[in-house]
Structure 1
């Protein structure tokens, strides 16, 4: 497997050979987890990874510690590192209820603050996704990166670092994209993102809030299909949908 670019490391670490090796190990392992090559709750042997990547065990350990911070791996006495289990349906519902508390508010806040309005940056992000889809690369990785940046721009523009940090700690983009959503091509996600971006750019606070709320409900339905046998929503109980309602 070809290593994919990792998130930016600290400048000092990135300049050292060990730092580069750790970044490579992180990128490869992260891709393997998101793509299902490393199954949920599968043990990860440091020695095997070290031999596969032809690097020492120290940068592999550093990469695993970083992935543990992402909640993609967990360490336990006697077993070492293993991938985390997939979210259960109730855990997924709880995560999306949290998103409904935070993100529609963030979209409204970003839209009404004209100086910090991220509409232009959101449009540029959507254009970049469209260009990337036609190029070589793993679509799942592209969608995870896009989703993270898109929602991050809105949360940053909302101007509340406490809320933004709490949201980032959920690592929702990494966990939900392991569920193989029905919209694996990303078309519906991009359309919904475009509606949010347009409302924010127009400084339409109510419209941005409503568009974000719809997007989160639709996203939940798409990801929840991973728990049905026939790939549809018929088997889901009505109570399994997020119960939070955004005030109008």
Structure 2
């Protein structure tokens, strides 16, 4: 699986999803438009960009308009499911081990349902699967539950088979991992993340909020590109481990201060 570098400028809609994931679900998944605009202003996103991004998220089925004395938007059922799945991936620190084995996904989709084939490939890529050969996808076995949930939720289970396997022979597994995942590109993305966030020193809760939302927004794509591959098959001194240390250290420092600011913003 080859990944594409993400531009340095984060799209406002990604920031909005992060804000909803952090601060809306505790109160039923709803947030007023005024509060969204105010919180995004702390991230230097202007009102027209916020409104445009909300409309885009609405078209994509992530947000639904719900009025509660004032205009606001509610997370959709699908968005809630995506965020719940993301919680485990984003905040899960433990990596897989070789003893866990591997999860193989094999699928067959009729030509008349090519859109389902595209959806399957997109979702397996999003979960961090690599490809061994066309039609055979591989990931650490600890992604089994997440993969099963995705296949059932999107009504794709009837097209796929999942297998729990071990690599018995032949060839060097480290070499093969580099064929199945683009570790060079992952390393560059991790380096960018560490460089962007390792020197953050917010002085106020407002700055802590802005730093934490950007930290989490930048981090949450990385556990999907790197599905927690076992240390035994990674290069020595793998920077992904340092990047994880950076994220979890900053999360511990920023989360409560950021929440305090978000709660005070109406």
TM more than 0.5? no
TM-score range, shorter chain: 0.3 to 0.5
Q: Relative contact order (C-alpha < 8 Å, sep 6+): which is higher?
A: 2
TM-score (norm 2): 0.33
TM-score (norm 1): 0.35
